[in-house]
Amino acid sequence: MNKTLTIILIVLAIALIAYNVTMIDFQNPFNGDSTIALIGIVGSLCAVLLLLIFRTSKKIQQKVEQRD
């Protein structure tokens, strides 16, 4: 997976977070569709975190390969 694809996936996950925030009923956030939106936000945050870890590991791998 190249750098461009990971950036696109991160942007899509952030867009999904923004969309799910609009779906939350802040008066009653743990009922109905708000619960699903909260789960979507947490899932998208996990995806962003995993992609950032992946990018960092690729950078480390490249530096290790340059040393050899």
Listed by start position, the domains of the chain span: 3-67
Q: Is the pLDDT of residue 5 over 80?
A: yes
pLDDT in tens, 29-40: 889 899 999 999
Query: For the segment 41-66, what is each residue's pLDDT rounded down to a tens digit?
Result: 999 999 999 999 999 999 999 999 99
Q: Is the dihedral of CA 52, 26, 38, 8 positive or negative?
A: negative
Block residue for tokens 């991160």 = 10
| pTM reported for the whole predicted model | 0.84
Say how far apart CA 7 and CA 14 lie, in whole Å. 11
Whether residue 2 is predicted with pLDDT greater than 90 in this model: the reply is no
Average pLDDT over residues 2-22: 95
Contact 47, 9 (CB under 8 A): yes
